[in-house]
Amino acid sequence: MQVTPSDADVLDGLDPEQREIAESLRGPVAVLAGAGTGKTRAITHRIAHGVRSGVYAPERVLAVTFTRKAAGELQGRLRALGAEGVRAQTFHGAALAQLNHFWPQFVGGSAPKMLPGKVATVAQVIESLGLRLGGEALRDVASEIEWRKTTMLGIDGYASRIAERPVPQGLTQEQLIEVHRGYAALLEERRQIDFEDVLVLMTGMLESEPRAALQVRERYRFFTVDEFQDVSPLQHALLRVWLGDRDDVCVVGDASQTIYSFAGASSSYLLRFGAEYPHARQIRLERNYRSRESVVRLANRLMRDRPGALTLRATRTEHAPDEHAPTFEWFASEHDEAEAVADSIAAAIRGGTPASDIAILYRTNAQSARFESALQERGISVRVHGAQRFFERADVRQAVMLIRGEAKVADSRPLFQIVSDALRASGWTAKAPEGAAARERWEALGALLSLVDEMPAGTTIRAFADELVARQRTQHEPTLEAVTLSAIHAAKGLEWSLVHVVGLSEGMLPIAHARDETSVDEERRLCYVAFTRARDVLRLSGVAGGARSAREPSRFVAEAGLLA
């Protein structure tokens, strides 16, 4: 039986600012939380304290975050703290559940079907207009439709601002507007909605149907919103109608980590929270528990004097600062960079750093292939973050089905033996096989077995199977023993002991199309996110390129103090 902490235990171990957050249970609260400052710990302990002290009824609490994975991890932490019954969902997950619930009552019939993605529908509209676009341009059009909706612009409003917007290659401004109109018409004809429409429709329904709004407000009384710097106007509007005239909301964010402005996100809601709620309590988390002092110092230099920037204070003591200080290397070619980074990682693994605690971060996904190849040539397993999800792998799905089958039969054997026998039936062996593909499959199945060690003593096979189903539903993946390759956008919220940030050249980071001050600021924040993923060692590198594509080192390297 899992033991949950008492209310006193929930508050023990928090630093003074985290404890202040945990004890601020009513009214509006804004938490300005720098990278590595324990914000998730603070807000989960706040919710758990609210539940245990009787201030919160758990079923009336809604914790909102931005990804299913983050929501799953939040739910797991709350469960471990004894806050059963609290819901942790994404904006879209919560809104979709409400839309499906209320549509039959207030509109009739079932809600429209969700479009799995925009690109295929955009391609059909483009074809119907007699135009031709490549895959990248189609994705750019889909992104513009997303931006228009998240910023709550109708097509006419978008047309009035088209001069400010990037027009995908191969289209004129007038053609882009026609694509928007054609896309909207096609969805209406097919009775389909897309990702953003879920929020648009739910916001509109709650504004126009008092009975629906009353039900939602009766259901949820206390709100926590994580990553508030990435809230869009549409998400903010939905939050306001969820709240109504109440103000029991806690928002958490860091303006320096706003990296989704291209999709409509705005840190203004975080920075102006005090103006929106004049009696709000504002608490800053600036004690960094993640990174060495040299990494923290580098990150602070990069964001110095930027709007909303926090000043991180390292809590870790550096015993050998020269050995671990961040470095920057400049290479003649992409091949040279990939080889040097792979050699560095191989040496770190030989020195005892687990492969799962190492990452290579880059600006665009197109940069990953050469690093993946260089690592595999050295026999190092690689996991490309954002590629196929762990629980969607066919071998993992089969193994989970076998484990669930074992759970239906009474079995007195130890949990580890039951699970290992089920995995052996899926082809897993105790010894690692040869070959990259076979090794990748072996490590995926082994990651399932490693989850047994994370379970409380006495966990039954049925409870373990239930845990796998919960993780499958929320994409809460186990740790794979492989080096992570990831675009920086996808790495937010993660951390590793050793981080290589590659491609730090002008035109790559900042990206070539970042020409004005606003877009360069976004690139700087992206670089800040990359730097603050490192716990122990941060290695930076860039590439000069050839004669026809000669580049200079990224301006951010100089701003961070690594260039003379």
Q: Tell me the binding residues for ATP.
A: 33-40
- Across-strand partners of 1? none
User: In a 3-state reduction of DSSP, which class is residue 561?
Assistant: coil
Cα–Cα distance for residue pair 166/515, rounded to 1 Å: 12
Q: Which two tokens stand for residue 2?
A: 């899992």
Pull the structure tokens for residue 114. 């969700």
DSSP letters for 316-383 = SPPS-HHHHS-EEEEESSHHHHHHHHHHHHHHHHHTT--GGGEEEEESSGGGHHHHHHHHHHTT--EE
Structural tokens at position 15: 């630093």
Question: Rounded to whole angstroms, what are the CA distances from 4 to 9, 49, 54, 485?
Answer: 9, 12, 16, 36
Q: Which two tokens stand for residue 485?
A: 């390759």
Is residue 207 within 8 Å of 106, Cβ to Cβ? no
CB 179 within 8 A of CB 100: no
Contact 488, 361 (CB under 8 A): yes
3-state secondary structure of 311: coil
Residues 26 and 57 sit within 8 Å (Cβ to Cβ): no
CA-to-CA dists, residue 188 to 174, 185, 340, 374, 429, angstroms:
21, 5, 53, 48, 52
Distance, in Å, from the CA atom of 538 to the CA atom of 358, rounded to the nearest integer, reads 10
Positions at the binding site? 33-40
